[in-house]
Amino acid sequence: MDTAPLVRLTRTVRTAVRTIEDRTPADRDRAVDGLRALALLSVPTGHWLLGGFTRDAGGALHNASPLTALGFLAPASWLLQMLGIFFLVGGHASVLSLRRAGARGVSTGTWLRGRIARLGRPVLGVAAVWAALVPLLYGLGVPAATLRTGATLVIQPLWFVGVYVMVTALTPYCARAARRLGGWAAAPLLAAVAVVDFLRYGPYAPGMPSWLSLLNLLPGWMFAYQLGVSWGERRLGRRAAWTLLLGGAALFAALLLFFHYPASMVGVPGQDRTNSHPPSLLVLALAAAQSGAAILLRDRLAALLRRPALWAPVVVINLCAMTILCWHQTAMFSAAVPFSFAGAVPGLTVAPDAPGWILARLAWLPVFAVLLVLIGCVTRRFETPWTGVGRARRAVAAVLAAGFAVFALGLA
């Protein structure tokens, strides 16, 4: 057996690891980067484990959730729903970035435009590519229902980008609140969500309008972001972290046991209540507990990531953050579509309604990961500045992205 390719690969990996370690600034906050990478990986893992397909008689794929039939999987969503950590780290990083920009004489407006561009380029890229793929795949015989299923999958994670842009724009105000109130700056956001939940779930629920839940959208996701800003301003110490951890866990348990909140942190078809879209008080309770744990474990995580072999993957994941977010559903979909022509494939095109589906889906996860890496090798360029791309091409990309949005949202 020729082992030369394996030896060369090992040497290449070791060289890359050493290069990443050597280029890392001494003052880099490895713990925060590690938390961000962990939260990032939870997104594809959660979608790949808690999302499935069914295949109809015509061979078309439709979205399905294993949580509908396998309710015992709900606690897995407590671990996989890590958007609280993501917003915590986002607030921490944003306030430090804003502070550094101010020290360089960069205005807040310029800083914000740069942040929005970094988030917007990959979103525009994935939407434009999908706009071109939809008619191509349809011409190759992929059913229209399957294409709508794929479009829905792709657009689902992108709501996060819009919310993240909104809270990022409020960073200067979050910083002021943090400097005045410390961790308590997040308390009014928690209270606002609690009031809306009381109105929509309490005794006055029958008379409440259906749009009332939307009032939770901004304060619900801004809660952890504000905690992150307070953390970045050094106004959130270990004592506050313990309060967040224990208080969040106690509130989480109380909401489940006594107020009958759904156990799943993600939406389950057929349920009249959902925790995440928009966020309920249960989401904030989980985010508080996660944030407290993250702050308490910061030093240990930083020490662990001093090991170059562990630090290198964290750097790579963070460099590809938006690529992972934008394209992980496409990776799963690209595996399912060819097999939809073959028939029922366990863990892929078979309805997720039996425990055996879980084992089959776990076997598919490495395939999805490999496909995501291959797709990312091509689409990673969308995260970098679009130098050399003229206004005409950008306009075409914008038009294509708008067309895809119309299709994905079922407006056409």
Assess contact for 302 and 29: CB atoms under 8 A: yes
Q: How far is 17 from 11, CA to CA, in rounded Å?
A: 10
The reported pLDDT for the residue numbered 133 is 94
Question: pLDDT at position 389, please?
Answer: 74
DSSP track, 327-379: HHHHHHHHHHHHHHTT---TTTTS-S-SHHHHHHHHHHHHHHHHHHHHHHHHH
Evaluate if residue 2 carries a pLDDT over 90: no
What is the model's pLDDT at position 412?
A: 59
In the chain, % of residues over pLDDT 90: 77
pLDDT at 348: 94
pLDDT in tens, 316-327: 999 999 999 999
Percent of the chain with pLDDT over 70: 98
pLDDT of residue 90: 96
8 Å CB contact between 313 and 38: no
Mean pLDDT of 8-37: 92
Residue 105 falls in which region: left (phi positive, over 0), alpha (psi -120 to 50) or beta: left
Q: 258: which 2 tokens?
A: 């006594």
Res 287 pLDDT > 80: yes
Give 42's pLDDT tier (boundaries 50, 70, 90). very high
Average pLDDT of the residues in 353-357: 93
Asked if the model's pLDDT at residue 247 lies above 80, the reply is yes
**Which of the four pLDDT bands, split at 50, 70 and 90, describes residue 1?**
low
Across the range 354-369, mean pLDDT stands at: 95
CA pair distance 371, 27, nearest whole angstrom:
35
Q: CA torsion 243→244→245→246, rounded to 10°?
A: 50
Non-local (6+) Cβ contacts of 227 within 8 A are 88, 91, 183, 186, 236, 244, 287, 288, 291
Residue with tokens 């509908």: 68
Q: Please tell me the predicted confidence (pLDDT) of residue 271.
A: 79
pLDDT for the residue numbered 391: 79
What's the pLDDT tens digit per position in 181-215?
999 999 999 999 999 999 999 999 999 998 999 99
| Tokens matching residue 243 | 């309060």
User: How far is residue 78's CA from residue 85's CA, in Å, rounded to a whole number?
Assistant: 12
Q: What are phi and psi of 277, to 5 degrees?
A: -130, 85
At residue 157, the pLDDT reads 84
Q: Could you tell me the pTM of the whole model?
A: 0.94
Count of CA atoms in the C-beta half-sphere (13 A) of 173: 7
Q: In which band, very low, low, confident or very high, does the pLDDT at 411 lie, cut at 50, 70 and 90?
A: low
* Reported confidence tier of residue 356, pLDDT bands at 50, 70, 90: very high
The predicted structure's pLDDT at residue 398 = 87
Report whether 372 contacts 327 (CB < 8 A): yes
